[in-house]
Amino acid sequence: MAIKIKTPLTLEIVRNLHAGERVEISGAIYTARDAAHHRMIDMLKEGGDLLFPLEGQVIYYTGPSPARPGRPIGSCGPTTSSRMDPWTVPLLAMGLRGMIGKGERNQDVINAMKKYGAVYFAATGGAGAWLSKFIHKAGVIAYSDLGPEAVYQLEVKDFPAICAIDCHGNSLYDKWRVK
């Protein structure tokens, strides 16, 4: 049975999630990949503000394909999350509560998740067309010149994921490695 959660995520919601639990996410989430992360951090270093709020939000590491007629978005599967690790800690410090992707995270990111109260969700790799069915609205809100790596705001309903690393530092990847 999946745990239904809504965005924005509160610290209470995040603290009650545990590695291995299935979730269904509803509400607004944002997309961002390497190039968008790089720009966000550069903007913060220059003293600017981000173009969307981070407090309580979820970032999905994906670069969606163009939408087919009648659909809000094309295939929208997760990308390798570790590529975003160099830019993740400052975003967690600003209140980012959730990330969706695939693969492991480095120890600095896990430590920051514990410190600031965030969770990392794994989505099914190779299932982008299926995952797009849970996205009901999509629109570019920042960095449109980046094409599929632009920041999109997505409205999702029951988006399926697994809590891969919780805010207590428990990781499914560690459990599997032991086996």
pLDDT in tens, 53-63: 899 999 999 99
Task: Identify the pLDDT of residue 177.
Answer: 59
Q: Would you say 153 and 141 are in contact if contact means Cβ atoms under 8 Å apart? A: yes
Q: Rounded to whole angstroms, how far apart are CA atoms 161 and 132?
A: 13
Residue 30, amino acid: Y
Three-state SS letters, 105-149: CCHHHHHHHHHHCCEEEECCCCCHHHHHHHEEEEEEEECHHHHHH
- The dihedrals phi and psi of 68, each to the nearest 5 degrees, come to -80, 160
Q: Which domain holds residue 90?
A: 3-178
Domains held by the chain: number? 1
pLDDT in tens, 127-166: 999 999 999 999 999 999 999 999 999 999 999 999 999 9
The residues near 49 (Cβ < 8 Å, ≥ 6 apart) are: 43
Of 18, 37, 38, 136, the active-site residue reads 37
Q: Is 37 a catalytic residue?
A: yes
Residue 157, amino acid: K
Task: Identify the pLDDT of residue 131.
Answer: 97
Running along the chain, 179 residues long, what does each successive block of 10 average in pLDDT?
97 98 98 96 94 94 93 96 97 98 97 98 94 97 95 98 98 72
